Amino acid sequence: MTRGRLAGWGAFLLLVAGSAWVVAPDPSRLASGLPRLFGWLATAWPPDFSGPRDIAWRAAETVGIATLGTLLAAALALPMALAATRQVSPGVGFYHPMRGLLDSLRGIDGFVFALLFVAAVGLGPFAGMLGVALHSAGSVAKLWSEAMENADPRPSEAILSVGGSRLHVAIFALMPQTMAQNLGGLLYVWEANIRASTVLGLVGAGGLGQELKNSVDLLDFNRVLAILLVIIALTLTADRISGALRKALA
């Protein structure tokens, strides 16, 4: 085994040991807590679907947050993706900072952005939409820029050889080549945002998370189970729709 590989394994083991020290896993606490959890679950049946309009409205908010947030993310991501693509970026001094910005947006969870926007614009799904959009813009731009960087370079070289600009390369070479792949990536992000939007209500950003938090606060586990079943159904439906559309684009 080489020194580099030994160093890598050593760093990994140190990371695991440090994580265990910080988290301090306690199996005895889990063993004592599981009966309490199972007791709550035993009282949660049957699920309480009373007030179906409220649940339907919260589900609609969840879908709306994810859909509008993803569309806004796409609008924000396009110029950032182009600036983070080597073939069309204005230069190294612009390329690397833009890459850093994309990593920063991806590194901060939409949940955190939603919390900040709740403070800025108030409670409700609008704050959730903004939080989803800002986080997703980094993810979408990263996917798109990498797809364009890996595109066939020959059309780009042909455009530059006849005096075309970097903008021409983007519009007539890179974007057409990667259109199907980029739309597929956007659909995947939308699907992920459906899942993420179900919990944004925990910080007051609307959606099913709001209804879930209210039910947990009241220890109404029949209602909690009903909301969880709706979340599962919504997630599975989004997964099927996204998968079918991605397959059609392939």
Task: Render pLDDT for 114-126 as a digit per residue (tens, 0 to 9).
Answer: 888 888 888 778 8
Per-residue pLDDT band for 1 (boundaries 50, 70, 90) equals low
Share of the chain above pLDDT 70, in %: 98
Q: What is the CATH number of the domain that holds 232?
A: 1.10.3720.10
165-173 mean pLDDT: 75
Question: Which range has the worst mean pLDDT, 39-43, 58-62, 94-98?
Answer: 39-43
183-209 mean pLDDT: 81
* Number of folded domains that form the chain: 1
The Cα 22–Cα 166 span in angstroms is 49
Q: Which residue range(s) make up the domain with 115?
A: 54-249
- Comparing CA positions, the residue from 191, 220, 80, 174 lying closest to residue 132 is 191
**pLDDT of amino acid 24:** 79
164 assigned to some structural domain = yes
196 assigned to some structural domain = yes
- Comparing CA positions, the residue from 71, 51, 53 lying closest to residue 61 is 53
**pLDDT of amino acid 10:** 81
pLDDT at 112 > cutoff 80: yes
